Amino acid sequence: MFAEKGLQFVDKFFTDVRSGWNFNEGRRLAELLVLEGIYARHRPSSTKETSLALLQQLEALSVDGNAVDEMALLFLKSQLQLNSDNVIDCFYTHVACLQVFLKQMQSHKDNWALPVMARLVTNTRTLSFRCADDSHSEQKDKVLEKAADVLMHCFRICCNDTRSELRDTKRRGMLHIVNQLFKIYFRMNNTKLCRPLIRAIEGSNLKNDYSKDQLVTYKFFLGRIQLLEGDIQEAQSSLLFAFNHRHPSCYENTRRVLNYLVPLRMLHGIMPSRYTIRKYNLGVYGILADAIKTGNLSSLREIIERNQLRFVSMGIFVVMEKLTLLAYRNLFKKIYSIMQQSHQLNVNVFYEALKFCGHDDDLEMDETEFIVANLISRGYIKGYISHQHSTLVVSKQNPFPSLTTIRP
């Protein structure tokens, strides 16, 4: 009984895949190839034992060199292997399925199959991550590298399609592949490999024709890459695009963007509202903002040290160091106000304030002068230090410029 139902299921799947391919129904065919999708949910049975039994039946099937049937067979096998908790075999079988598809796609001049490729590319990346989560380090690296290799093959096929009209070009599929490769390269901790992909997208005449959701994902990862490269202004611009164009109902995506955008905005003195902090669970930035606004160096240092590993893994630890300068600036501005806005301030006053606010016990006057000089050189204070008199002489007009006018 099981064997009969199983073969009926296989026969219907093959028929639907052939139909989708023969009639160039890319979107319909992509829906059939979703991991654990409609066919996975309607298998005769979803137990591990019956999946293994059906898999054995599939091994005896012959597709007689028919590439479409071979693709369907490999996809079915990968689904059954996944249901049998054999994720590694599932991944490699799915890669074989994608490779069969690519051979066929290369022979087509138009781009109707791009939704199918996008689906198989996403499946490959998803499976590689599942393998990486379940594998030891050596196997993990091997799987991620294999996924990156096959996705780069997809990218080259799309990128090199220069003969087709813009309407039919496979280059329209480039950005989706790039986004999936970004995710893999970040997982591999090898973001340098992203640069050639960025150049390809930035130089494309289709850049403004991609879907908004793909552009949001691209700008999010681009912002993170620019942040790692130290280009804070460009990083903020990319992340701001991702934030302004993301779907408002996507809570997790909004939170991911804000985790990087908020500290960059803080560099310009734009602090997150309490509503934003509460809604998106960004408590650490709320404490950080309060410490910066009040010049509370002790609290600032504590929150940075407590979250150091997180900030380093996110690539924003350098931003935290720059935010410390803002705390110094705000503390010194308070002193300036207390001293009745005198344009000549003894550096010893700053020294005592730093000691009081929890700076290192071994702080020396020279280090205090260095901190003040650093703030001057970066534009946070307009003035100069008279070393002979150990005095900070500030401008009589706007000695502490607005943070929005300063390039971090």
User: What is the Cα Rg of the chain in Å?
Assistant: 29
Q: Is the pLDDT confidence value at 401 over 50?
A: yes
Pairing of strands 344-346, 391-394: antiparallel
Of 87 and 135, the structure prediction assigns the larger pLDDT to 87
Distances, alpha carbon 327 to alpha carbons 91, 333, 355, in Å: 50, 10, 14
Residues 380/330, Cβ–Cβ less than 8 Å: no
Q: What is the pLDDT of residue 2?
A: 40
1 falls in which pLDDT band (50, 70, 90)? very low
pLDDT digits (tens, 9 = 90+) for 188-236: 999 999 999 999 999 998 988 999 999 999 999 999 999 999 999 999 9
Sign of CA dihedral 145, 146, 151, 152: positive
Q: Is the pLDDT confidence value at 33 over 90?
A: yes
Question: Minimal CA–CA distance to 16: which of 38, 32, 27?
Answer: 32
The mean per-residue pLDDT over the stretch 309-333 comes to 94
Q: Is the pLDDT confidence value at 31 over 80?
A: yes
Question: Minimal CA–CA distance to 345: which of 359, 333, 357, 328?
Answer: 333
pLDDT digits (tens, 9 = 90+) for 77-117: 898 888 888 899 999 999 999 999 999 998 888 899 999 99
Q: How far apart are CA 51 and CA 47, in angstroms?
A: 6
Q: Is the pLDDT confidence value at 3 over 60?
A: no
Beta strands in 64-142 (DSSP E): none
Burial class (CB in 10 A: 0-12, 13-18, 19+), 23: exposed
pLDDT digits (tens, 9 = 90+) for 276-317: 999 999 999 999 999 999 999 999 999 999 999 999 999 999
Q: Is the pLDDT confidence value at 363 over 90?
A: no
Mean pLDDT of the chain: 90
Q: What is the pLDDT of residue 364?
A: 87
